[in-house]
Amino acid sequence: MQDPERLLIAVDGPAASGKGTIARALARHYALPHLDTGMLYRGVALALFRFGGDPGNAFEARRAVDELETIDLSDEELRSEVIGEIASRVSAYPGVREALLKRQRDFAGQGGGAVLDGRDIGTVIAPHATAKLFVTASPEVRAERRFREIERRGIKVHLEEVLADIRARDARDAGRDNAPLVMAADATRLDTSDMGIEEAVERAIACVEAARGNA
């Protein structure tokens, strides 16, 4: 029997939607462990990149999952655009997703509850989550946020280039056959286009409270 007090929160959404920031804030608010599942795919991408594997080859990508233990998941290189792009490509392979499934389900299943963010948490990893949020924002707003983040790291890019990358990533993440980026039927959509971080987090907490029956 599942503990009725156990709180499992699924946060999904496209690249640079603010889902990571919201998931971290929810984890802090409810004192729950948090897993950014995008980091697992990014870890696989970095492992593949390091052994010179081909992101177009499903077999090599699957082999990189076995190298995941060699990657430090707090390595800043994981956040680079190059690795994000490779992560989006390798995440389309069913073998890669399957190999990462148990680790994510185990995290979601821990006794005290958890917060997970990604693309398929509410649909595949934790379909029985207490609360499901689908965080989104317009491609233009997401590109602007990503652009500022890249600039802060001291890297020069063009906004149009970032927007084109965001659109390409959306198309690939939403268009793949296996666990595509879609909003779960019972998720609450949170469009953060016109919101600052504080308001978005407040709204997210209100959504969780509503899902727990406290609204």
- 118 belongs to the binding site for ligand DC (CB under 6 A): yes
Site for ligand DC in 141-180 (CB under 6 A): 169, 173
User: In the bound complex, what is the minimum distance in angstroms from residue 215's beta carbon to ligand DC?
Assistant: 27
Cα angle 62, 68, 73; round to 5: 135
Q: Which is nearer to ligand DC, 41 or 107 (CB)?
A: 41
Q: Which is nearer to ligand DC, 164 or 210 (CB)?
A: 164
User: In the bound complex, what is the minimum distance in angstroms from residue 112's beta carbon to ligand DC?
Assistant: 21
Alpha-carbon distance of 133 to 73, in angstroms, equals: 24
Instruction: Give how many residues touch ligand DC by CB under 6 A.
Output: 14
Pick from 46, 26, 42, 43: nearest CA to 34 = 26
Q: Which is nearer to ligand DC, 127 or 206 (CB)?
A: 127
Site for ligand DC in 12-31 (CB under 6 A): 15
- 131 contacts 211 by C-beta, under 8 angstroms: yes
- 68 contacts 105 by C-beta, under 8 angstroms: no
Give the list of residues 6+ apart from residue 159 with CB closer than 8 angstroms, or none: 143, 144, 147
- 22 contacts 135 by C-beta, under 8 angstroms: yes
Interface residue with ligand DC among 11, 26, 35, 37 (CB under 6 A) is 37
Q: Summarize as ranges the residues that interact with ligand DC (CB under 6 A).
A: 15, 37-38, 41-42, 84, 87-88, 91, 118-120, 169, 173
